[in-house]
Amino acid sequence: MGALDDDPGVKPDIHVYVTDKASWFDITDAHPQYDQEIFPFALKES
């Protein structure tokens, strides 16, 4: 993500793999947190 020059206008709404985050990084928002990937199950079919 460091290669982006401008704000892409997209903001995260969940956190995945939180058990693997850097020990010095604190998640301070209220977004849901997951220890593993949830995307195959979270996607809604059209």
Give tens-digit pLDDT for 1-46.
567 788 888 888 888 899 999 999 999 999 999 988 776 655 555 4
Phi, psi of 34 (to 5 degrees): -130, 145
According to the model, what pLDDT value does residue 6 have? 85
Task: Please list the alpha-helical segments (H only) found in the chain.
Answer: 39-42
According to the model, what pLDDT value does residue 46 have? 46
How far is 43 from 35, CA to CA, in rounded Å?
17
**Residue 34 CB neighbour total at 10 angstroms:** 14
pTM of structure: 0.59
Encoded amino acid at 16, one letter: V
Cα radius of gyration rounded to whole Å, the chain: 13
